[in-house]
Each structure stands twice: as C-alpha cells, then as structure tokens.
Amino acid sequence: MPGLSLLVFLPAVGAAALLLIPRGAMRALFSLAFGFSLAVFLVSLWIFARFDPNAAGMQAVERAAWIPAYGIEYIVGVDGLSLFLVLLTALIVPIAILASWTVHDKVKEYLFFMLVLETGMLGTLVALDLFLFYVFWEVMLVPMYFLIGVWGGQRRLYAAVKFVVYTMTGSLLMLVAIIFLATRNYQVTQTLTFGFQQLANLRLPFHEQMWLFLAFALSFAIKVPLFPLHTWLPDAHVEAPTAGSVILAAILLKMGTYGFIRFAIPLFPEAALAAAPYVTALAVVGIVYGAMVAMMQDDIKKLVAYSSVSHLGFVMLGLFAFNLQGAQGAVYQMLNHGLSTGALFLIVGMIYDRRHTRMIADFGGLWKQVPLLSAVFLIVTFSSIGLPGLNGFVGEFLILLGAFQAHPGWTVLATSGVVLGAIYMLWMFRRVVYGPLVRPENRLMADLSPREIAMLAPLVALIVFMGVYPRPFLSRIQGSARVALERVEAQSMAAPLVRVESAGERTDRGR
C-alpha cells in the first residue's frame, strides 16, 4: 500500500475538500481541516509502526515515472533522517490548526493554505528525486507567503516579501545546480536522471562540487537560517500568525538543516569537507550572536525567533562535525527545537490572544494569575535551556560531543551557549512570569482552556519523554546518519591533510 503517497497527498485532498464547503460554515471548515490533519497524523504513525528500526536504507519507497523525457521520476521514501521529521510535521499541523481557532478572517483560504503547506512539507521530506524535491520545496513557499502576508501583523507585507525574496534567491540557484548536476550525470553515465541515489554515485571534480555545494548550501543556509542570513526570520516570525510561527519554527527551518544532511553533504562530500571549517565558524557565531541579540529583545516573539538562530547554530555545528554523535545529535536537536520552540510560540500566541501585546514590559506576575500556563512555560523554558532530563540536553550534548572531536576550539565557544541560553531565557521568564502582578489588565487573563491544554500536552509529554528515554529515536536515526556520512567520512580518511590545514583547525590551539 502506498503509505507515503497517501501521507503526502492526503492534506492536499483535504484542501480540495475545503473548497466544497461554504465559506460561512466555519465550524465545518475547521472540523474538516482538523480531521484531515489528524488523519495524516494517524497515517504517519502507521508508517512509523511499519518502519524497520534496524535498517539503514530507504524504506516504504515508491517509484513512478513522472516526466520521462527528462528522466524526472516520482520517488519517495523515508529513512531514519526523515522519519521523525515526518512525524513531527504530522503532529505539529493539527496543533497549528487548533491554534488557529482564533482566526476569523477568510478562514477557508487560511485552512486551505495550511493543508497545502503540509503537503509541501511532507513532500519535501520524503522526495528522493531532486526535481521532485525542488517542486515540493517551492510548494512550501507559496502558502507560507500568504499565511504571513494575509493573516499576519502590521508589517506583514514587508515580512512576507522579504521571506519570499530571500528564499527564492537561494532556491533558484539550487535549481540551476540541480539541473547542472543531472546534466553532468548524463554526460558521464548517459542516463538522464534526477534520482538522488544515482546522482550520489557521481564523482565530480572538486571545483565543480564546490560550486554546486555553494548553490545548495546557500539555499539551505537561508532556511536554517545560518548567520548572517537570518534577518528574514525575526520579521517573518513577528508578523506571522501564531500557527504560521509554529510551523515556521518547528518545521520549515528544519528543511534547511535536513537539506544539508540529506543532499548537500552526501552529494558533494569533498566540498562539504572543505567548507566545514567555515560553516562551523558561522554556526558558532550564530550560537553566540543569536543568544546575545535574543537577550536584548523587548518582544517575546522576537526573542524566541533569535533563540532559533542560536539553536539552529547547534544543529549546524553537529552536522558539520561529520561524525555519528554530531549527526545523531543534530537530527535529534531538530526534533527538540521543533517541540520546544513550537511550544514557546504557542504560549506566546496564547498570551497575545489574551492581552494583544507581546512586549515583555507589559507582563510580570503571571504565575499568580495563570499558574497552569506559567508551569508549562517553565517546563518549555528549561527544555529550551537544555536541562538534563528534558529533550534539549540529549541533542545538545551529542552535538557538543561530536563537534569537540572535530573542532575542539569552536566547540569551546559553542558550549558557552549553555550559559547564554540560560541568561536570556530565564531573564525573560522572570520578567514575564515572576514578580508582582502590577498591571490591572493582566488580572483579566484566563488560564489555559481545554483546547489549549490539548495543544500543549502532547508537546510537553514529548519534551519529557525524549529527555528521559531517547533510545527509540536515536537507534532509528543511527543507521541512516551513518549512511549519510559514509562518503564524507571516506573522504576525510583519504585526505587527512585537507582537514589539518583547514582554517577552522588552525584556530583550535586551545586543545
């Protein structure tokens, strides 16, 4: 049974079904969209259940000719790298739809875009044909543009255009690189294909690899976002509606890091190896920089947005350590960031719904008024800080462990992120939740509603579970992470000199 195709296109079917419902029937619209997203989640669970935890390769692969003239195929599959991101996506979308209950304007279109977005995201995660991947990649862009541009805040158009222009700039270069790669493959093998696994066998000369890697990397680095390409993110987050922010943070950013480990690194191992010192440096700068800038924000949402720059810096650091700890930690940290930052944006949204402000200075003393919301906020805050026992620590530790082996000097700097993270998160938490309840408006705030509890409960449960028992996740990630690193590891064994002389290593005298 074609499980993945069902998974990917079920949301699109839901989106089409929405068109049949009259626009006034809000309840029906919401119920239908939520029902479809829930069904998608069930399908994802079914895929998870059938996933063989001991196999490293692609599973549930489906393959069909699509545009035979150009060798473009429809190939989808999951492995340990994408499995949990698929599950995360399928979990986050229904939660995001629940979070949209407060949207009253153009509900039909809103939900339509939401479901189209889900198809785009799931497709991007399972596509194994580069052209197909590119199509899904672009499909994600359009609904997000509208979600920000139509249902966003005051400067929504600026933010939406910035988001699109930034992302498009990168992705067009990637398209060129994809076409070039397929062409070169054709020259060598006389078969025209965009299939990832065939293209991965192609061995290009170093300088070509480098250009292609740069094109892919730019596209992905913007999405991550890697310092200094991050400035679209705070704007997009601040202007996007809550559900948009949640999806953006929890899933869309992961597409960048996922792109690196799925495509950029395995396709161009030598280039990736040569670029590693620079990427590592940018990642570490991002960790420190994102944290420092986050600290000084007055708007909670902007603070959380900048914290993402810092957290995703950790993921990049792990990916470019090119060892198992780094890769496993990075993939795990993608999930962690999805859960905890997703939850943070939900909480910020709930606070905003009640008070129509997100300024830190407008709050204080919330614990007295809304203890349940505050308690959840506390747990999520500490998950974000990376407290051992919660999910964030497992990923962070593995990343640091792996990165320390590869780039000890940079890792020392990166580790300072554990101090900085505590500073900005706790400072914000203290100003929002602790202290006396001074403002009279805050006395009217209601605690979590059953709907809101239903949104946060699964996230909090996973935050704790993944901190206490990460094994089911790590063991499934392990094999695929190994495969993804195979070629780059072989390269680093073959040419150790390249690494010793690379720029990042030279600064690592601290060892």
Partner 1 sequence: MTTNLLRWIPLLPLAAAVLNVFFGGRWGKRFAGILASAAVFGSFLIALRVFMLLSPDAVLRDTLYTWIESEPFKAQVSFQADALTAVMLLVITGIGFLIHLYSTGYMAHDEGEARFFAYLNLFVFFMSVLVLADNLLLFFVGWEGVGLCSFLLIGFWYEDPANTTAGNKAFIVNRIGDFAFLLGMLLLFWEMNRLGVPSLDFAALKDAAARIAPDTAVLITLLFFIGATGKSAQIPLYVWLPDAMAGPTPVSALIHAATMVTAGVYLTARLNFLFVLAPYTLSLIAIIGAATALFAGTIAVAQNDIKRVLAYSTVSQLGYMFLAAGVGAFSAAVFHLFTHAFFKACLFLGAGSVIHAMGGEQDMRKMGGLRRRLPATYWTYLIAGLALAGIPPTAGFFSKDRILLEAYASPHGSLALWLVGWITAGLTAFYMFRQLFLVFHGTSRAPESVQAHVHESPAAMTIPLIVLALGSIAAGWLALPSRDVWDPWLQAVLGRSNPAEHGEAVNETLLVALTVGIALVGIAAAYFLYGRERRVREDGPLWGTLAQKYYIDELYDFLFVRPFTAAANWLARAFDPGIIDGAVNGVAGLVRGISASGRRLQSGNVQHYLFAFLIGTILIFVYWLRR
- Binding residues for partner 1 (CB under 8 A): 162, 165-166, 176, 179-180, 183-184, 187, 228, 230-232, 289, 292-293, 295-297, 324-325, 328-329, 365, 367-368, 375, 382, 387-389, 393-394, 397-398, 400-402, 404-405, 411-412, 415-416, 418-419, 422-423, 426-427, 430, 433-437, 468-471, 474-475, 478
At its nearest, how many Å lie between partner 1 and the CB of residue 421?
8
At its nearest, how many Å lie between partner 1 and the CB of residue 415?
6
Q: Which residue, 288, 281, 298, 316, is CA-closest to 419? A: 288
Beta partners for 127?
Answer: 76
At its nearest, how many Å lie between partner 1 and the CB of residue 473?
10
Judge whether 209 and 271 are in contact, CB under 8 Å.
yes
**DSSP characters over 3-40:** HHHHHHHHHHHHHHHHTTS-TT-HHHHHHHHHHHHHHH
At its nearest, how many Å lie between partner 1 and the CB of residue 231?
4
Judge whether 99 and 455 are in contact, CB under 8 Å.
yes
Nearer to partner 1, 126 or 226 (CB): 226
Judge whether 349 and 427 are in contact, CB under 8 Å.
no
At its nearest, how many Å lie between partner 1 and the CB of residue 230?
8
Nearer to partner 1, 13 or 324 (CB): 324
Nearer to partner 1, 93 or 330 (CB): 330
Nearer to partner 1, 271 or 406 (CB): 406
At its nearest, how many Å lie between partner 1 and the CB of residue 40?
31
At its nearest, how many Å lie between partner 1 and the CB of residue 253?
18
DSSP state of 323: S
Judge whether 213 and 278 are in contact, CB under 8 Å.
no
Buried b / exposed e across 219-236, counting CB within 10 Å, b at 16+? Answer: bbbbbbbbbebbebbbbb
The tokens of 447 are what?
A: 């605690």
**DSSP characters over 83-135:** HHHHHHHHHHHHHHHHHGGG--SSHHHHHHHHHHHHHHHHHHHHB-BHHHHHH
Nearer to partner 1, 145 or 166 (CB): 166
Total length of the chain = 511
Cis omega (within 30 of 0) for bond into 2: no
Residue 51 and residue 84: Cα distance in Å, rounded?
11
Nearer to partner 1, 26 or 387 (CB): 387
Nearer to partner 1, 162 or 337 (CB): 162
Residue 480 and residue 511: Cα distance in Å, rounded?
31
Residue 121 and residue 115: Cα distance in Å, rounded?
10
Nearer to partner 1, 108 or 184 (CB): 184
Nearer to partner 1, 90 or 433 (CB): 433
At its nearest, how many Å lie between partner 1 and the CB of residue 257?
18
At its nearest, how many Å lie between partner 1 and the CB of residue 455?
19
Residue 223 sits at the vertex; the CA angle it makes with 483 and 271, to the nearest 5 degrees, is: 45
Residue 359 phi, psi dihedral angles, 5° rounding: -75, 130
Q: Which residue, 178, 267, 172, is CA-closest to 222? A: 172
What is the H or E stretch that residue 271 is in? helix 269-295
At its nearest, how many Å lie between partner 1 and the CB of residue 111?
28
Q: How many CB atoms lie within 10 A of CB 38?
A: 14
Nearer to partner 1, 435 or 458 (CB): 435
